[in-house]
Amino acid sequence: MYEILFTYRNELIYTVAVLILLMIIQVLLKKAANKVGKKSEINITRTRLMFKYINMLILLIAAFLLALAWGVGFTELSLVFSSVFAVIGVALFAIWSILSNITSGIIMFFSFPYKIGDTIKIHDKDLPVEARIEDIKAFHLHLRTHDGELITYPNNLILQKAVSLIEHNRRHEEGKEAL
């Protein structure tokens, strides 16, 4: 046991240091997202979605740094990452609208002026919509019309269209108690 600890002493120290540093960064990023969520009165489910994105980012960084710590060279690591990203890139190019909606969802988390419960009007020449925002998901908005019809509106389109606030509803303020 002592021989293993002595042999891999530097790698173990580096691993512990990386894990502690990344946990601190993760806590800071989550606190920042939570602070933005509370300040902007964002729904708790949207804040939790940001937490998932932060976790994925930290996991990728940890995998990269720990692979370097345990002796995987830059050439091998770059080969693996470039191959993986090439496959992912081809696959994601085929589903670019999903990526566009996720990116729009992240942008909307930080700078979307409308909240759940607000009634908005989307100025679209083909399909103008006036509805109340029921939920804001990672890919789309759930809008409820005055007739009770549920409309699923993609996040990337809501950022491309002109939107008017018809009525601000203070009833739905679940975002104040985000984790």
Q: Digits of tens for pLDDT over the chain (179 positions)? A: 778 778 888 888 999 999 999 999 999 999 998 898 888 878 788 888 889 989 998 998 998 888 888 888 778 878 887 888 888 777 767 677 777 888 888 888 888 888 888 999 999 888 889 999 998 888 889 999 999 999 999 988 888 999 999 888 755 444 444 44
Rounded distance between C-alpha atoms, residue 46 and residue 114, angstroms:
13
What is this structure's pTM?
A: 0.55
* Token couple for 54: 């932060």
β-bridge mates for residue 140, sequence order: 154
CATH code reported for the domain at 114-169: 2.30.30.520
Rounded distance between C-alpha atoms, residue 48 and residue 51, angstroms:
5
Q: Which amino acid is at 140?
A: H
